[in-house]
Homo-oligomer: A and B are copies of this chain.
Amino acid sequence: MSLPRVYGMSSSGNCYKVRLLLEQLQLPYDWVEIDTRSGLTRQAEFLQRNPNGRVPTLEYQPGHYLAESNAILVYLAEGSRFWPQHRLERAQALQWMFFEQYSHEPYIAVARFICAALPPQHERRGELPRLQERGYQALAVMERQLGAARYFAGDGYSVADIALYAYTHAAGDGGFDLQRFPAVRTWIERVQGQPHFVPMPPLPGG
């Protein structure tokens, strides 16, 4: 049986989520490094794998693919301790994973990209005030949850924590001050203390 293969860019938070879970599951896998700056994900060969032209993309069987980081997390985690056993807790995990992709990543990840991967005078810096405002709103929602609970879904660490950890712990790269969010900072340490934790590499500079 062949290993699952991940097409991913190591410094992307969305790709790192998948690597972190695979390491924590102790599942062997192949990693095919894709530099999205090369335009490779927009070429026909890659679009055969994922018509939306994004990483991460999981080749779960030779020639069969699954896209969207958080869908990949659920697929890999089903049946493990990283995916809740109870229906309501599964729904809460999904609630936070959809929150992450809609209300968090488009602001916190994009601010990180602009600040850390583009040249200092790039015109996209004009987007930062709006990204900061929305990103701080997302961090405030997380702070409220973590003031009342140790994790995002149920009593234990799950894929919801993996999904939110990826870009939250690196929010400083996008100019966010996490000192304002003590519960988020304590949770970041809690995630980093999980068995088989691996860190996320920095973005290559612009």
Contacts of A97 in B (CB 8 A): 71, 98
| Interface residue from B72, B88, B99, B105 paired with A91 (Cβ < 8 Å) | B72
Q: Quick check: A68 and B106 within 8 Å, CB to CB?
A: no
Copies in the complex: 2
Interface residues of A in 93-129 (CB under 8 A from B): 94-95, 97-99, 101-103, 105-106
Contacts of A78 in B (CB 8 A): 87, 90
Q: Quick check: B94 and A68 within 8 Å, CB to CB?
A: yes
CA distance A106 to B103 in the complex (A): 11
Other A-B pairs, 14, CB within 8 Å; known A68-B102, A69-B98, A71-B98: A52-B99, A52-B141, A66-B95, A67-B99, A70-B94, A71-B91, A71-B97, A72-B91, A74-B90, A74-B91, A75-B90, A98-B98, A102-B106, A106-B106
Q: Chain A interface (Cβ within 8 Å of chain B)?
A: 51-52, 60, 66-72, 74-75, 78, 87-88, 90-92, 94-95, 97-99, 101-103, 105-106, 140-141, 144-145
